Amino acid sequence: MSSGSVRRRFEPGTTIGDLKKYMEPFALRLGYRFNDDEEFVDEILSAEIEILDETGDVYCPCRVRTGDPKEDVKIICPCIPFYADEFAKLQKCWCGLFVRTDVKDGSALHGVIEAPTSGSAEVPVALLAEFPPGTLRTVRIAKREIALARIGDEFFALGNVCRHAFGPLGQGFLDGYYAICPWHGWRFDVRDGTTDHPGADVATYPTSVRDGYVFVTV
């Protein structure tokens, strides 16, 4: 057995139960749960344990490792944060080990399928309970940063990058319906992304709330 240069997170002797205990809360925070088909879940996890014994980490059993640790870190299970857009469209991870919490019965969602290339996806970005009124914060969907604001019970999502000098809007503050850039104070209307500065508006994204999560559609 060799762990190569990969940092070992699980010891030899790791069981399916250990993996479930570790992965379940992590996936739940991202809006996913284990597939309803328990036999399938155990099959995938036992394949992951074989890979763990061979490589030192729980690489995805339905993806091909490249041998480049920086690339392969993106397919250590659960890989949900790296593929948030794609999985939101599929309602499941590549293998189907995890399905979205709003899927009623995920037992048909098995197996590898190709990445969707178009269409929109509703991605859970925050726990409602952790986002009180008056909050402005940066959230991340795959590589994209979005400024998420809550004003009363309304949520607004807009591009995070200020068009003046690239300040992070999500780290600014709110003044009524305006997000104020923390660097030099440019004001962006969170309802439509507009600002008084010509040609400097930012994109906005639809938001929704359900099952205790805030979703952004990208």
Which residues bind to ligand SF4, rule: CB under 6 A? 44, 60, 62, 75, 77-80, 93-95, 97-98
CB of 185 to ligand FES, least distance (A): 6
Could you say whether residue 165 binds ligand FES (CB under 6 A)? yes
CB of 155 to ligand SF4, least distance (A): 27
Distance CA 144, CA 139 (A): 9
Partner touching 155 among ligand FES, ligand SF4, none, CB below 5 to 8 Å by kind: none
Comparison of 93 and 181: residue with beta carbon closer to ligand FES? 181
CB of 196 to ligand FES, least distance (A): 12
Stretch that binds ligand FES, among 35-43, 97-105, 118-126, 161-169 (CB under 6 A): 161-169
Comparison of 97 and 190: residue with beta carbon closer to ligand SF4? 97
Site for ligand FES in 168-187 (CB under 6 A): 181, 183-186
Positions touching ligand FES (CB under 6 A) are 162, 164-167, 181, 183-186
